[in-house]
Amino acid sequence: MLRLYRFLKPYRISVIFILGLIFLQTLSDLYLPTLMSNIINKGIMNHDINYIWKTGGLMLLIALGGVICSIIASFLSSRAAVGLGRIIRNKVFKRVESYSLHEFDKIGTSTLITRTTNDIVQVQNVSVMIARMMLSAPMMIIGGLILAMSKDKPLTLVLAVAIPVLVVFIVLVAKKIIPLFKSIQSKIDRINLVLRENLTGMRVVRAFNRIDKEKERFEDANADLTNTYIKVNRIMAFMMPAVMLVMNFTSLAILWFGGLRISHGDMDIGALTAFIQYAIMIMFSIVMVTIMFIMVPRAQAAAVRINEVLDTKSDINDSNDIKKADSERGYVEFKDVSFSYHGAEQPAISNISFSAKPGEITAIIGGTGSGKSTLINLIPRFYDVGGGNVLVDGVDVREMSQEALREKIGFVPQKAVLFSGTITENIKYGKQDASDEEVNHAAEIAQATEFISGMKDGYDTEIAQGGTNVSGGQKQRLSIARALVRKPEIYIFDDSFSALDFKTDAKLRAALKQEIADATVIIVAQRVGTVMDADRIIVLDDGQIAGMGTHKELLNTCEVYREIVSSQLSEEEIA
């Protein structure tokens, strides 16, 4: 957790102020009982009204000063802690944004969300407590002991018995509570997981009549968390009265033995009142410190999880020596490229070589799992190649800046993703400053105008979270429009036509052909009809190129292609 405090830098002046204020407040707390005892000894005992007024006034002033310090310190420390939370959240978000797909595969989305929200709040809350306790508790304990001793030495023997009793008691309690607290975090994770799976998989849950089972699963996780909280609270509820009992017995003992010493004339009343107050202060501080030690491990567990996110560096970074390709436009070349997913035994693709030029359509066809998506994910550098080179405009993608590289590309992913916002906003995602005409034009080519104008607010229709109020095919057309509005050098369509009916598919491709005549187009498809008229068809089989050429060439040379074709087209269509 200490490592997270490096982010307190913008608040370092606040922190110094807070510590100073708490120092002053603690001093005033420590000084008040001594003044009190002075009033009793010198004022009340000697009937010196003047002294009582003077010292009483001083006490009021000091108490007031202490209160003001405490208020300002509270204010500043809350602000610093919340600010710290904000900074960490930003850092985590930024770091996660920089991850390549590989890191997402590794850490998992669910826990990234818990870490950005719940875990950071834990650290934030404990920080307020630490700010308040770190300085004042030790000062109270040590200062209180010294001052108590200065009032009366023999009476400190009572504390020598009471404090160890108290400490043993709270250590026992802490031992029971800390593991419970630590387990709470993972139990919250579990609830999040079950909830997320249920929300995203709602249709499956319903379709397979698993609602009762899922309810049970959630209830189990929920009850588990609840029971843990109840256990914690039970122990806490028991702890407070028990601590009060120890404190009250201590006061009683001090009064008893103090009374004896006063009647023997070894001590005065003022010293006794001050002594009791110091004793309570010390014990109270000890309790607060223990509570802090109980809370810190939980926040510590959260901090470890946050640091894990911050320490995970993306594999994919801009190289130091960024190369630019100015002269060439839209050239894509694969040179003997191989790639394996992390932990996979077999490479997902191997020995891929081909090149694509502007004005050409390159189609990639192959069975599911043959590596089509993997191959095209290498072009925008979502993953780095294992061997060989991917060149865009003659420069290795690892030597370009990621921004410049992706600027050149209009990417339509296999699974269309829309963001919450209007249709126009979603299309403009491809080009922030696109005009309405550009947006319209892109939608037209993507064959989306028909259903957009059929919607309630046309282009201003809000897309629901996750795009649930549009169909799969509509989503896909919107994400195609989003890529089109960019007017990039290279278009990549990953199976983007599969959710379209044949007619729309054909119309869309006809419109596209004119629109993107001078761009480089790479289309991944399942249907032979979609790829037939491409300039170059790459047939992928098990991550390797089984054949490459035009439809006609492949029919003669490539067995795999022939099989795909004959499974989809009738005899006449092939001929």
Q: How far is the CB of 85 from Mg ion (least distance, A)?
A: 39
341 binds, among Mg ion, ligand ADP, none (CB under 5 to 8 A by kind): ligand ADP
- Tell me: does residue 424 bind ligand ADP (CB under 6 A): no
Longest dimension (CA), the chain: 123
344 binds, among ligand ADP, Mg ion, none (CB under 5 to 8 A by kind): ligand ADP
Which span sits near ligand ADP by CB under 6 A: 25-33, 361-369, 447-455, 527-535?
Answer: 361-369
CA distances from 183 to 95, 109, 129, 219, 278 (A): 27, 21, 21, 17, 37
- Tell me: does residue 374 bind ligand ADP (CB under 6 A): yes
Complex with ligand ADP: residue 229 or 341, whichever CB lies closer: 341
Q: How far is the CB of 298 from ligand ADP (least distance, A)?
A: 33
Q: How far is the CB of 373 from Mg ion (least distance, A)?
A: 3
Q: How far is the CB of 127 from ligand ADP (least distance, A)?
A: 37
Q: Is the dihedral of CA 395, 401, 406, 407 positive or negative?
A: negative
What gap in Å lies between CA 439 and CA 72, rounded to an integer?
54
Complex with ligand ADP: residue 290 or 373, whichever CB lies closer: 373
50 binds, among Mg ion, ligand ADP, none (CB under 5 to 8 A by kind): none
Q: How far is the CB of 374 from Mg ion (least distance, A)?
A: 8
DSSP 422: E
Complex with ligand ADP: residue 362 or 424, whichever CB lies closer: 362
Which span sits near ligand ADP by CB under 6 A: 133-141, 192-200, 278-286, 368-376?
Answer: 368-376
What gap in Å lies between CA 497 and CA 506, rounded to an integer?
9
What gap in Å lies between CA 452 and CA 15, rounded to an integer?
55
Binding residues for ligand ADP, rule CB under 6 A, total 12
Which SS3 state, helix, strand or coil, does residue 153 take? Answer: coil
Q: How far is the CB of 365 from Mg ion (least distance, A)?
A: 11
Structure-token match 């319903």, residue found:
206
Q: How far is the CB of 500 from ligand ADP (least distance, A)?
A: 18
160 binds, among ligand ADP, Mg ion, none (CB under 5 to 8 A by kind): none
In the numeric block, which tokens belong to residue 38?
Answer: 């002075």
Sheet containing 361-366: order of strands? 409-412, 490-494, 520-525, 361-366, 536-541, 544-549
How many residues appear in the chain? Answer: 575
488 binds, among Mg ion, ligand ADP, none (CB under 5 to 8 A by kind): none
Comparing C-alpha atoms, which of 487, 483, 490, 488 is closest to residue 332?
490
One residue of 85, 270, 371, 380 binding ligand ADP per CB under 6 A: 371
In the numeric block, which tokens belong to residue 449?
Answer: 């105008």
- Tell me: does residue 428 bind ligand ADP (CB under 6 A): no
CA distances from 439 to 74, 387, 407, 436 (A): 52, 40, 18, 5
Q: How far is the CB of 540 from Mg ion (least distance, A)?
A: 10
Q: How far is the CB of 105 from ligand ADP (least distance, A)?
A: 5
Q: Is the dihedral of CA 394, 400, 402, 407 positive or negative?
A: negative
Binding residues for Mg ion, rule CB under 5 A, total 2
Q: How far is the CB of 494 from Mg ion (least distance, A)?
A: 6
- Scored b (16 or more CB within 10 A) or e, 425-463 reads bbbbbbbeebeeebbbbbbbbbbbbebbeeeeeebebeb
CA distances from 18 to 8, 75, 434, 564 (A): 13, 9, 50, 73
Q: How far is the CB of 417 from Mg ion (least distance, A)?
A: 14
Query: What is the CB neighbour count within 10 angstroms for residue 143?
Result: 20
299, containing H or E segment:
helix 269-311
Are 279 and 251 in contact by the 8 Å Cβ rule? The answer is: yes
Are 357 and 333 in contact by the 8 Å Cβ rule? The answer is: no
Q: Binders of ligand ADP among 103-132, rule CB under 6 A?
A: 105
370 binds, among Mg ion, ligand ADP, none (CB under 5 to 8 A by kind): ligand ADP
What gap in Å lies between CA 339 and CA 90, rounded to an integer?
33
Complex with ligand ADP: residue 98 or 526, whichever CB lies closer: 526
What gap in Å lies between CA 470 and CA 474, rounded to an integer?
6
575 binds, among ligand ADP, Mg ion, none (CB under 5 to 8 A by kind): none
What gap in Å lies between CA 434 and CA 440, rounded to an integer?
10
299 binds, among Mg ion, ligand ADP, none (CB under 5 to 8 A by kind): none
Are 534 and 362 in contact by the 8 Å Cβ rule? The answer is: yes
Are 29 and 281 in contact by the 8 Å Cβ rule? The answer is: yes
Give Rg (Cα) of the chain.
Answer: 36
216 binds, among ligand ADP, Mg ion, none (CB under 5 to 8 A by kind): none
565 binds, among Mg ion, ligand ADP, none (CB under 5 to 8 A by kind): none
What gap in Å lies between CA 140 and CA 26, rounded to an integer?
7
Complex with ligand ADP: residue 138 or 369, whichever CB lies closer: 369
CA 501 to chain centre: 39
Structure-token match 């209007």, residue found:
422
Q: How far is the CB of 330 from ligand ADP (least distance, A)?
A: 23
Which span sits near Mg ion by CB under 5 A: 36-44, 45-53, 414-422, 557-565?
Answer: 414-422
Complex with Mg ion: residue 2 or 344, whichever CB lies closer: 344
Q: Binders of Mg ion among 181-210, rule CB under 5 A?
A: none
One residue of 209, 320, 368, 570 binding ligand ADP per CB under 6 A: 368
Q: What character string, x for contact with Mg ion (CB under 5 A) and - otherwise, covers 363-402? A: ----------x-----------------------------
Q: How far is the CB of 370 from ligand ADP (least distance, A)?
A: 4
What gap in Å lies between CA 499 and CA 304, rounded to an integer?
43
One residue of 373, 449, 479, 520 binding ligand ADP per CB under 6 A: 373
Q: Binders of ligand ADP among 328-357, rule CB under 6 A?
A: 341, 344, 348
Q: Binders of ligand ADP among 87-106, rule CB under 6 A?
A: 105
Footprint of ligand ADP (CB under 6 A): 105, 341, 344, 348, 366, 368-374
Footprint of Mg ion (CB under 5 A): 373, 414
